[in-house]
Structure 1
Amino acid sequence: MQRSQAALLAQDAGLSRPSAAPAGGALKRGRGCTTFLTSALIALAGPAVALEDPIELPSGRVVEFQELRFEVSESDDALLRFRFVSDELAETELDLERLSADMDHLCSEIALPSVPGEYPDPNRIIISIGSEATEFGVSRPDIVQVFEAYSIEDDRCIWEAF
């Protein structure tokens, strides 16, 4: 799908493209970000996986897609944030080894194949899972949230320590 077609679809769907990121929502030197609030638009952009369906992770935990955020820095580095929700996150003991495997799976098997055609070749992907859907950039200490960052090289997710 061409970029102009995706923009028209976003406009028709009532999705706005903010010219500036919300508080805490962009890279430090960012020029802004774009948020896709529905997986339907992502499906129109040509992903390899269906983000509208619940996703079972290697640990057995189930997540649902919340949103995709696109950011670009002044140096034109593209960053995609794939945000997921799992109410099981707050209900279970967090096994860091299993959680790490789940996050790796979300990056390599879900996020990377789902990169919209209008944002090819991101430099980084951030994966997050929250115990509830939250507004991006708004502090919610009552919600369990986990994050992992990955560099993208040769169509592979490479874990980065924060």
Structure 2
Amino acid sequence: MTLIGSAFVTTPILAEQPPLRAVSAVEYEPHEILFEPAEADRPERRIVRIRLVAPGIADKEKFGFEVIEADFQSLCDSEGLRIVAESAPNAREIIVSVASGRVPFGETVPNVVQYFDAFSVDGDTCVWVGL
């Protein structure tokens, strides 16, 4: 793990990990996982951010938010809860973000489409809270 600033611990996703699929036909390439608070040895990690890349969403007519909206719940239920169980058992929030290209966290890049959605963790369930 690598410390980024003082807010996050980031875990790079291995390039060998296969793309993820959810409800839509979009393939999501794992990009990185961010944990808050940053200290890797603190068990009270409260927020898990899952960052994914999906070049296909650049075509907003074919894959606009309304098309991929259900994917956020599916990705939280599968990947988000798995990551919570493995690395952040006290997490209370999962934020799923997808972008049409790799963008450093917290930045925007012209012509890169980015969507986000937030969920609270209730036992083994992701509960949509929106963003």
The answer to which structure has the higher strand fraction is 2
- Aligned in 2, Cα 1:39/1:78: closer, same or farther, shift over 3 Å? farther
Cα deviations by residue, 1:36-65 (Å, 9 ceiling, x for unpaired): 11348xxxxxxxxxx811112211111110
Instruction: Report deviation, 1:116.
Output: 5.8
Partner SS for 2:86: coil
Partner of 2:47: 79
Partner of 2:3: 17
Partner of 1:155: 124
Q: Distance in 1 between matches of 2:5 and 2:60?
A: 39
Amino acid at match of 2:36: E
Partner of 2:41: none
Q: Distance in 2 between matches of 1:130 and 1:151?
A: 21
Structure 2, gaps ≥5 residues long: 39-43
Partner SS for 1:83: strand
Aligned residues: CA RMSD: 2.3
Partner SS for 1:133: coil
Partner SS for 2:103: coil
Picking from 113, 122, 129, the partner of 2:98 is 129
> 4+ runs of 1 displaced by more than 2 Å?
16-19, 94-98, 114-118
Contact 2:34 2:49 (C-alpha < 8 Å) held by counterparts: yes
What is the TM-score of this pair, normalised by structure 1?
A: 0.68
Structure 1, gaps ≥5 residues long: 1-9, 11-15, 21-31, 41-50
Instruction: Report deviation, 1:103.
Output: 0.8
Q: How many residues align?
A: 125
Amino acid at match of 2:89: P
What is the TM-score of this pair, normalised by structure 2?
A: 0.82
Instruction: Report deviation, 1:66.
Output: 0.3
Which of structures 1 and 2 has the bigger CA Rg? Answer: 1
- Aligned in 2, Cα 1:132/1:18: closer, same or farther, shift over 3 Å? closer
Picking from 91, 99, 106, the partner of 2:75 is 106
Q: Distance in 2 between matches of 1:97 and 1:89?
A: 11
Instruction: Report deviation, 1:161.
Output: 2.5
Instruction: Report deviation, 1:18.
Output: 3.8
